[in-house]
Amino acid sequence: MAGKSFTGIRRSRKTRTSVRVADLFSRIFITAAGMGTILAVSLVCVFLVVVVIPLFQGGDVTASQTLPAPKVESGAEPIHVEIDEYQSMGYAFYPDTTVAVFRLDSGQVIDTIQVIPGEKPTCWSFGLQGGNVAFGFADGRIQFGTITFNTTYLDLKDMAPERRAMKPGELATLDKGVVEVTPLGQFRLQQLAVDLKDPIDLKSNSPVKLIDLSMLNSGPVFATMTADGVFRINSVREIRNVMTRKVTYVPTGGQVEIPLVKTKGMAKDMVLEGRGDSAVIAWEDGTAIRVDGRDKATPIIAEELTLVDDGAKITLLDTLIGKMTLVVGDSKGHVATWFRVKADAVATTKEGLPVVRASDLHPPVAQRLRAAQASELKGEMANAPSDWMVCETPDASVLVRQHILPTSREGKAVTALGASKRNRMIAVGFADGHFDLIHVTSQQLLAQNQISTDGKPIASIGMSPKNDGLIAATGTSLALWDIKIPHPETTFGSIFTPVWYEGSLKPEQVWQSSAADDAFEPKYGLYPLVFGTLKATFYSMLFGVPIALLAAIHTSEFLHPRTKARIKPTVEVMASLPSVVLGFLAALVFAPFVEDIVTAVLLGFFVGPATVLLSAFLWQLIPSRLSILMGRYRFLLIVVTVPVGLLLTLGIAGVAETMLFGGDVRGWLAWKPSLMNPDQASPYRSATGGWLLLILPFSALIVTMFTMGIINPIIRVRTLSMERSKLGIVHLVKFVIGAFLAVLLAAALGGLLNTLGFDPRGSIVDTYIQRNALIVGFVMGFAVIPIIYTLSEDALSAVPDHLRAASLGAGATKWQTAIRIIIPTAMSGIFSACMIGLGRAVGETMIVLMAAGNTPIMDMNMFSGFRTLSANIAVELPESVQHGTHYRMLFLAALSLFVMTFILNTVAEVVRLRFRKRAFQL
C-alpha cells in the first residue's frame, strides 16, 4: 500500500519480502543461539550431577556362596582367614599352626601346611600389610615371618594339553595352587607362600602370652608380654654372615614390669602401634595402659585409661590399616575406635612436663591431657594464662576415643574383627552369626547380614585386598560375600562438616587427597577449597574494584575526550594478558620482590592515595589563570604523583618498620609469646603497630565523615568571600590535620587493644609466606580491572547528556554531578560490571595456581597461601583414577563452583534489575 508523504513523494508502506525473510532468519538464529546457550549450560550442570551422584549412593553386599569349613585334626575353629585379591583361593589358620589352603569356587582343600611342625605357640599376631605373622612360645622365644599369596604367570607351552583349553574365568588346581585364565588369555597361578625366620630368644624363661609386630623400614619391632607381667619392646636387627650368608636376628630393647598383672591377672590383648613407639595393653574389664616405647631401652607406662563403658567387657582388639587406630569390640556389641594424639607443647616445666594451650584442643582431648591448670601452680607457672595446662603424659600425647561406631547387633558380643587392607572399612562379626560392614571415618553402617542360620558365632572374618570380597568363618562353614561399595568414605557430613581424622587434635575440615603412605586416610573436606576461592576473590576485588571504578568515573566525567580516546583502549588491552603470564610474574617476580619490602608495600596502600590527595589540594593553591593554562597537563601531573608516592613510601619504610614492628616486620609477624619466660623487652612484643595499620582505613573513614558532616559546613559558611588561593590553604590545612587525626586515632585504638591483650597475629595477620593472598589479590586485581573498568565506563558514558547539562546548569560541580546524578543512573551497569569481574575472579585458575602457594588451609591471614576450587581441579584431575572417589570429588568441587557462580549471578541480576528500576524513576 502506498500513500503521499508531506513531501508529496509516494513511498511504499509495505515491508519488502527480503526484509521479512532476513527478520525471520535473524529471529530464528538468535532464538536458537539463546536456547543453545541455555541448553549447553544445563547439560554441563546435568553432567556434573550425574558424575557426582554415585558418591552418595550406597553399595551392595551380596552373598556369593557357602563352603564347608576345612577340617583339621584338632577340630578347632580357624583363628584367621584370608582370601587372595583375585578371589580364587583362601586359607584358614588354626591354633596348632595348621594352614588349610582351599579353592573359593568349590571349597576343595588343595594343600595343608604345618607352619611350625612340632610346636604349639602360646600367642600369635597377624598383620594387615605384607602378610606378616608373629608367634610367641612357652620358652620365651618368638618367631616371625610372612604368609602371602604369590602370583605368577605361566607360558602356554608350560601348560598341560588339557589345561590349554580352559576358558577365561575358569579355575583349576595346579602345583598346590589355583590357576585361572584371565580375560586377556593369560594363565595366572596363585599359590600360598609361607616364609618363617629363625626363632629369636628374648632371654626370658617365662611364656610369652601376648605378642604384636610392626614392620618399619629399619626392620621389625616386637612388643611382648610374658606370664611374669613383664612388657618388652625390641627392635630386631638382621646380621648376615659374609662367609656363610647365614642370617641372624638380634633383638635390642628394654622392658618394664606391669603392676596391674598382679592385681588383674594377664591382660586380654595387646596392640603395638604402627610406628613401633607405643603399645596398648588391655584387660577384659576395659582397663588399659599405654606404654611409651620411644626409647626402646627404657619403656615407661605413660597413661592408664578405660576403653569400654557401662560394665561391658573387652572381647577383641584390632587396628585399622597403618596400625595407628585401635578398634575395640566389647561384649555388648559396641565397637569404638581410639587413636593417639599429640598436642603441640608451647613450654616445659622444670620437671620436664609439657605445657599446652587448652583452647587449641577438642574438649575430650583436653580432658584426657589435663593434670592441672598452669595458673594453679606456684613459682614458674604463677603468671600463666588460664587456658594453659600441664600435661599428665611426658610426650604430650594421649589415647582418645574417636568414634563409637554404629552397629546393628546391640547386646551381642563382638567375636571377630577384620580390617580392610586399603581404607578405613572394617568388618565386625557377632556372637549370633551376623556381621556388619562399617566405614570408620564417615561412620557409615554400610551393610548388615547374617552368615550362619544356626546362630553360631563368627570365629574369624576378613576382607579381600581389593575390598571387593569378604570371607567369614564359623565352626562349620565359610561364607563368601561380594562387596560393591565404591565410595564408602563420602557422605554429606564428611564432605561439608568437620571430621575427626586419625591423629588430629580436633574435628576439622581438610582437603588432602593423596600421600606417599599406603595407610593414608583420604580427606575430602571441601570447605578449605571454598574458603580459598572466596579469599582469592575477596582480595582481588578489594584491590581491583576501587581502582577500576574510580578510573572509569574519571575517564567518563573528567578526562578530555582526546585523552580518553587513548587511555581507554590502552586499559582494554590489559584484558588480553594471559593468566599464565600474570601468574608467572606473580610467582617469580612480584612475590620475591614484595617479600623484601613488606613494610613499604603495606605503607603504600596509605601513602600512595594520600600523595594523590595532597597533590590535589596543592593544585588549588595555583592561581586561577595559571591553573587554566595548565589544565591540559593535569592528567600528566596526576600520573607523576604516583612515582612520587612510591619514592616517599620507600623513603619512610625503614623508619616506620622500626617504629611499628621493631625493625623487622616478618619477625614481628612470626613472633609468639613465651608462656614460661615472657620476654618483656622483645621489640616484637607490642601489637600496636599492626593494629594501627589495620584500623587506619576505618579511622580515616570516621575522620572523613566527621569532616564532611560538621567541619565542611562551618568552613563553607565562613569562606564564602575568600579568594581561591586562601581557600586552597584552608582545605590543605584541613587535609593535613585530618590525616594526622586519623593516624592518631588509629594509634590510640591500637594501643588500647594492645593493652587489653588483643593481638591480630594468629588471625588477620600471621607468619609471612612468600606466595600469599596479598600477592594474588594484587595480580588478580589487574586481571579484573580491565573488565570492570570498560563496562563501568560504558555504563557511565551511556547516561544521557541532558542529565549532566541539567545538573551543571543548576550549579553543581562535576564531582557532585558524577556522584549524585551519573553514578545512580548508571548503577545497574556498574553493578553488572562488578559482578562480571567477580565471576572472572571466582573462576581464575592459573594465577592462583602459580602464586597462591596451593595449600588448602582455612586461614584468615592475608600473608598465607590457599587453594581454590578451580586450581585444585586443574592440579589433581589429570592424576585421579577415572570414576574413583577422588575423581568424583573433583567433579563435586566443579559442581560447587558452578552452584556458587549461579547463585552469585542470580542475586546480581536481581540487584541489577532493582538498580535499573530506580534509575528509570530518576
- pLDDT score recorded for residue 1: 45
Triad 515, 520, 525: Cα angle to 5°: 80
Collapsed DSSP state (helix, strand, coil) of residue 218: coil
What's the average model confidence in pLDDT over 724-752? 90
CA dist 631 to 176, 638, 640, Å?
Answer: 100, 11, 15
Question: Poorest-confidence range of 11-25, 112-126, 430-444?
Answer: 11-25
The CA distance from 761 to 776, in Å, is 21
DSSP secondary structure of 131-143:
TEEEEE-TTSEEE
CA dist 696 to 244, 599, 607, 763, 774, Å?
Answer: 80, 15, 12, 18, 18
The CA distance from 282 to 280, in Å, is 6
- pLDDT score recorded for residue 244: 74
The DSSP H or E segment spanning 914 is helix 885-920
Tens digits of per-residue pLDDT, 699-711?
A: 999 999 999 889 8
The CA distance from 916 to 43, in Å, is 31
The CA distance from 358 to 346, in Å, is 11
φ and ψ of 431, to 5 deg: -70, -20
Chain center to CA of 195 = 42
Residue 375 has pLDDT above 50, yes or no: no
- pLDDT score recorded for residue 676: 45
Query: Residue 646 burial (CB < 10 Å; 0-12/13-18/19+)?
Result: middle
The CA distance from 716 to 299, in Å, is 84
Question: Poorest-confidence range of 100-114, 368-382, 545-559?
Answer: 368-382
Of 403, 414, 418, the C-alpha closest to 502 is: 403
What's the average model confidence in pLDDT over 252-280? 92
- pLDDT score recorded for residue 374: 47
Helices vs strands, H then E, count in the chain: 24, 39
**Length of the chain, in residues:** 922
The CA distance from 461 to 443, in Å, is 20
What's the average model confidence in pLDDT over 335-360? 78
Residue 384 has pLDDT above 90, yes or no: no
What nine digits make up the cell of 836?
A: 562480571
The CA distance from 152 to 180, in Å, is 11
DSSP E strand boundaries for 646-771? none
Percent of the chain with pLDDT over 70: 94
Q: How confident is the model at residue 919 (pLDDT cuts 50, 70, 90)?
A: low
Question: Poorest-confidence range of 599-613, 676-690, 793-807?
Answer: 676-690
CA dist 893 to 40, 52, 373, 643, 877, Å?
Answer: 19, 9, 43, 43, 11
What's the average model confidence in pLDDT over 586-604? 91
Tens digits of per-residue pLDDT, 443-459?
A: 999 999 888 767 789 99
Residue 679 has pLDDT above 60, yes or no: no
Tens digits of per-residue pLDDT, 26-44?
A: 999 999 998 998 999 899 9
Residue 3 has pLDDT above 90, yes or no: no
Residue 908 has pLDDT above 80, yes or no: yes
- pLDDT score recorded for residue 378: 46
Q: For residues 674 and 732, is the Cβ–Cβ distance under 8 A?
A: no
Q: What region, left, alpha or beta, does residue 603 occupy, with left being phi > 0 and alpha being psi -120 to 50 degrees?
A: alpha
Q: How confident is the model at residue 385 (pLDDT cuts 50, 70, 90)?
A: low
What's the average model confidence in pLDDT over 522-548? 92
What is the maximal distance between C-alpha atoms in the chain? 131
Tens digits of per-residue pLDDT, 755-777?
A: 988 889 888 888 999 999 999 99
The CA distance from 207 to 189, in Å, is 40
Q: For residues 873 and 887, is the Cβ–Cβ distance under 8 A?
A: no
Of 906, 838, 894, 904, the C-alpha closest to 869 is: 894
Q: How confident is the model at residue 14 (pLDDT cuts 50, 70, 90)?
A: confident
Write down the pTM of the prediction. 0.87
Mean pLDDT taken over the chain: 87
Q: Which residue has the higher pLDDT, 882 or 244?
A: 882
Q: How many CA atoms, within 13 angstroms, populate the side-chain half-sphere of residue 576?
A: 5
- pLDDT score recorded for residue 241: 76
Of 157, 162, 193, 161, the C-alpha closest to 177 is: 193
- pLDDT score recorded for residue 684: 84
| Angle formed by the axes of helices 885-920 and 527-557, nearest 10° | 30
